[in-house]
Structure formats: C-alpha cells, structure tokens
Structure 1
C-alpha cells in the first residue's frame, strides 16, 4: 500500500486506540503489529521479540530504574523540609521572599530526582502549607510550584533525557551536560518574574518577617549539606568523567539511602514502598520504550521516516521554520500525552526530519524537553497540574490560570535556546575538548 495511505491510516488508528483508554505502550505495540501485517512481508513474530529485546537490553537503560529508585527514596525523607528551612533565611532577603523557595527548591531537588511530578510533589508538600500560613498570594505560590517542578525533566539526572538518549542512541552524559545551562536559565527567568511581580504587587505580599542574623542563617545552611553532597556524588562524578550514568545512579541510590537512614526516614516499610514505586514506574516506562521501538521498526519497513525526510528536503524549509512547525505539533500533542510517551511516540518520525535539516540532536533533545515541560502544564493531561491539585484541592482551571505567566516564560526560554543554541551545546562541547 502507498505510504501516503499508510501514514494517515495508522495515525488514525493510534488516535483511536489512545482515545479508547488503551495503555500507550499497548497502543504502540498494536499499531506496529497491524502496520507490519498489512503493509510488510516481514514476520511479526520474529521482528517483535528481537526488537523489544534490543530496545530493553541496552546497558545505558539500567541507569533509568536506579535514578527512579533514588527519587522514590528521597521522596520519603525530610529533604523538602530541610530545603525550605535551609533556603528561607537567604531567599527572604529578595523581593518575593519565600516564593523563591519553590523555584530554587525545585531546582535543587531536580538535581537528585529526575522526575517532574516527584519534584513538584516533594517540594510542594512542604512549601505550600508554609506559604499559605504566612499569607502569600495563592496563585503565584501554586503557579511557581507547578512550573518549577518541570525542572525535574531538564536538570540532570533527567529521566526523560535518559529515555531520549536511549531512543536516539546519544550519549547520556552529553545530554546531562547540555541540560545544565538551560535549567539555570529557567530558574533565573522564574525568579526574575517573581521579583518583578512582587515589586508591582506589594499589596499582595505579606508583611516582612524578622530576619535571622547572619550567624543563624549560616548555621541553617548545614541543612543543605546532604543534598549538596549527593549532587556532587551523582552529577559531579559524571561531569568529571569518573563514572558513567549507570555508575552515578548507583552512587545516588546508596547516597539517598544514607540520607534517609540518618534523617530517620528509612524504615522497612518505606524501603519496600520505594522499591514498589520504582518498579511500577520503571516497568511502565520500559513497556512504552518497547512499544515505541517496535513502532519505529514497523515504520522503517514502510519507509515513512525516509519519505518524510525527503519531503522536508524538497520543501527546503529553514531549520527555524521546521522548529516552529514542530513546536506547534508538540504543543498540541502535549495536551493529550505525558512527557515520556510524547518523546517516544514522536522520535521515529521527527528525528529523520531533524537530521535532514542539519539540526544538532543533542541540542534538539533539550529543545524537546522544554516543550515537554510545557506539556506538563497544559490541560487536560498536565501532570504537574494534577500534582498541585492533589496537594491543594484547587480545580484545573484555577491552576491553569495561575501557571499561565510561567507558561509564557517557558516559551521565551525556547526562543532564547533557538536564537542562542550555545546555551545547550557549549558545555558538552567544552567538556569533550577538555577531556
């Protein structure tokens, strides 16, 4: 059957499967099998097992469940409380005061979590009650939390960067390096907005609290020591070239267990819960990776990616025009798919187009993650909105309005990344040269 018929037909079937409530992974496997049976002579019973095994047996992928387990362990510790009390004396000196705890707290926790939802939930469970008790404006409090939680997708060790790296066969270490400066850029944008908002809305800010002395402020910094040491152990070992991503993940698991033990959060019950949580999430992601890999092979037999790449080449679109089109595509898809599904579902088609346009795949990975961050904030499937809703009980419409300014800032970050690609690629290139 002609490719022009094959593509739309399978796309329609996939939308039908997803809309019916079938698991994303099973939808991908089913569509891939249907495609091969209808449009290829290749034996499905031979291709599927070999493809699934190849996709899941890569050594790089072993870092994924370890980083997820690390985040599950830390989720059950006093880490969020220590972050709040360690940062608050210092951030209270800025316009916006403790609102910055959401941003910087999420940024720091992202460096040992890798998960957007876990970051928002962990920091939010501590910060939101404290901000509410002190009388901070609720929309800016909830909006900054939901938006800052997305940093868990970008700041290494990002689970979604691991998934992207495995699916596109890129270095996880380089992707981690590429995510550092864009993550800092977003932190700076969010904090700058809070400063401006606080200066323009002084009547919505609570009365300033008595400042702690420099001695007490310095004393509270020791609360940040465990997480700083863990970040150095995990991320520093990768950047310094001492460990692979998998070895760094092992360091992270051991370090998080030590933090949990000494903080009193490690019990037999919490240990089993962390294992179950990590196993549940890891199996879900692994099944989606398997389905996406099989769909990629199925589409390869059809020739769709090659045809699309050739079509893009004949249109002679500039890289900027292609990126604009992809941005619109991902903004729409992000309303209906979670981040990991969005990445795995699209890479088989999008990556050949991106390569044909001469766009760096490391840079595109960061560009894609920024779009996925926005997807975490867009209803009806905005995961971070669900997390904050679970903490506060507020409805999705209210939270969507609260997060709107940060949504615009994420779009602005994408524009800056596009105009200045060095934001993402400078560090991995520099580190490669240094080594």
Structure 2
C-alpha cells in the first residue's frame, strides 16, 4: 500500500467518523483519551491487561477518582466505548494509541519493557492502513529506534503500509482548569503523510494541535517541560535550606517575588517529587545524553536535591520533636496527613510519602496516615511492603493520639485548624496550615 493511499484512507475515516480507535493502557493517560475520542464521535476500544479495569468500564464505573463514574457511564451508554483484555482485537482499530508505563530501573535507567511487550503484541496483529501513536514519555529516538523496529517485524513497511507518530501526554489529574481536550497537543511524525494524519486525528479530539518536525522533537518537548519543573523545584528546595538557618520564611519570599509581573514564575518547596513524570523524565534525557558523551549536570544535580528531600523532611521532624517536645524520633508516634503525590487526587505514583514512611520506620518511629483520597496504599514496584496499609478515619482529635503530625500532601478537605488544635506538634512540608488560615505555636514549617 502506498503512503498516499494509506493517508487518504485514514483521513477519509476520520472525516466520516468511521475510524475506530484503540487505546492500550487504561490508566491516568489512557482512560481520559478514550473518553475524549468517544466524545468526538469515534468508536473506541480500550485495551488493558487488568480485567478489573475492563469490568469496571463495562459497568460504567471509573477507577480514577478525578474522572468519576458519570463520564465513563456516558461513554459506555453511547455504544462507542468498551474495554477488553483480548489483544487479538488490535486488528480492529485504525488508530492505536499506546499509553503504557515507562518507569526507571533501580539504577535510574529507562525501563522500556512495557512498551516493547506492547509493541510485540501490536506487531503480530497489524494490518495495512493503521496508524500507531506513542504517548508514553520516553527519551528522544525511542519511537524511531525501538517502536518502529519492532512494528516493522510484522512485514509492513513504515511510512507506507503503516504510519507512526509520537504525541506526549500532558495529563494533570485533578486540574480543574484544563482537561484532555483543552490542553494543546504536541504531535510529531517522521514523514509528511504521517504528520498529516496524526494532525487530523488529534484535531478531531482536542482544541489545539501543535505540530513539530519529527518524533524525536516531540519526545524532547515532553522531557523539556518536566525538566523545567524539576530544576526549578530543586532550586526552591535548596533556597529553603539556605533561608531556614537565616530565620527567613521561604514561603513569604516566594509569594512576594511572585508579585513581579515579568521574569519570575513561582515554584514551591516540598517533601520530594511525585507523579509519573517529574521524578522520572529528567533521567531519561540524562541517560540518553551519556550516549553522546554529554553529562547533564543541571539535570543530575536537580535530581539529587529532589531525591534527598524525604530524608531532609525526616531530619526536620526529628529536630522539631527534640527541640519542642524533648523526644527522640525513635519510639515516637507519627501521623502523616496526606500521602497522595499531590493535593486533591488519589494518585500515588512515585509519592514521596512512601519513602518518608520507610525512613521513619527504619529510624524506629511508629507511623500511621490519613488521606481523604487514598483509603489504602496500593501495590507499587519500589515500596511493596507498604501495600494494603489503610488510612485512619478522620476525627477532630485524631492528632492527639500521636506525638507529631507530618503534613505531606496539602489536600483541601483536611481540617488543618483541627490538627493544630489537638496535635502536640505539626510539621508542615507544604505550608498548608497557613494557606488555610490556621496557625499556632505548635506549627513548624519543614
């Protein structure tokens, strides 16, 4: 099949809404894409290895709190959306969107095992006239050097029988101002025909499409966005360490600096980085840079500072216990307020709270937590021993049962005044108490 024929066929199916979309990986990225494509009028098949997710979708239920059941139920009600664990159905979609995890190994090297396994599943079912789009974050060159090579094992010719593109996900769970369809979509492909089709596909489902020259550029865009955040968060974390012994409130400094209408963008310190992107993506680029004999010193330094933050938080807590209560950390009862990686969501991916719990318990503390969004700690690759631990039920005097409360996540639903009223000591890593108008002599910023 010639490229012109493949292009015309796919564009025609988009125009008359007969195109079928397949989305592999129904997590925080994949499920929102499914809902967006269904909303645009395209029939969509969700693929996942987890039968529980597929069963939940069939019943019109969401397993992601920030999405809610109503959106999934409406998509299913249209008759254009269903989910399956049967990867033999991959021959049905005209567009296959890959949204699988791309984590790091213990040595901070890219782990593409999920992507490679998915590519092999696709390759055995490919037919002429399909487009495969990768949305999983990865290093520049992955689409061309890894995904394309596996897919070409099907015997189809890339750029003629089969089109390939990369479009980095920009999901921000819990963000009430932007959604999948309103966040501009960066898209890159390695041929003119593929770019035309990829652009048309995303224009059918999102408000704005930003085309770049090729897949490597699109891959670099995503890493640049998150490295920008990682470096600036590391900077304010370091500034906090400098300001604290000087008796300067770094939160006040940042808020005052943010009044400048140009040349400054506020970032805030915290207990460490969380989420799937910012703790991981910078190391994808620093790893790739080493192939070219380049040391990404800025990126590596930011990673060192941010990775050390859970340890610094524990040191701050230990110091506050000693100075305020005359108690050692070992043997103390510590309550964590919030364990999700950011406020107002149930997302536990790479949450610094998990590392903080492990450090506290290694130092002899007794640890419990409460989180209005996380009823229990899910299974994770790096913190398996914590899986299944349950959140305590909130009551106003809950903090009175503990020597100290450590605020790790600044959920809006938490009664911070109640915490301060009953807790012997509150160590706040997010400035949450003051942001909610609560304060007291037992409050320490960390």
User: Which bin holds the TM-score, normalised by the shorter protein?
Assistant: under 0.3
Q: Which has the larger radius of gyration?
A: 2
Give the TM-score taking structure 1 as reference length.
0.26
Q: Which has the higher contact order (CA 8 A, sep 6+)?
A: 1
Give the TM-score taking structure 2 as reference length.
0.26
- Greater percentage in helix: 1
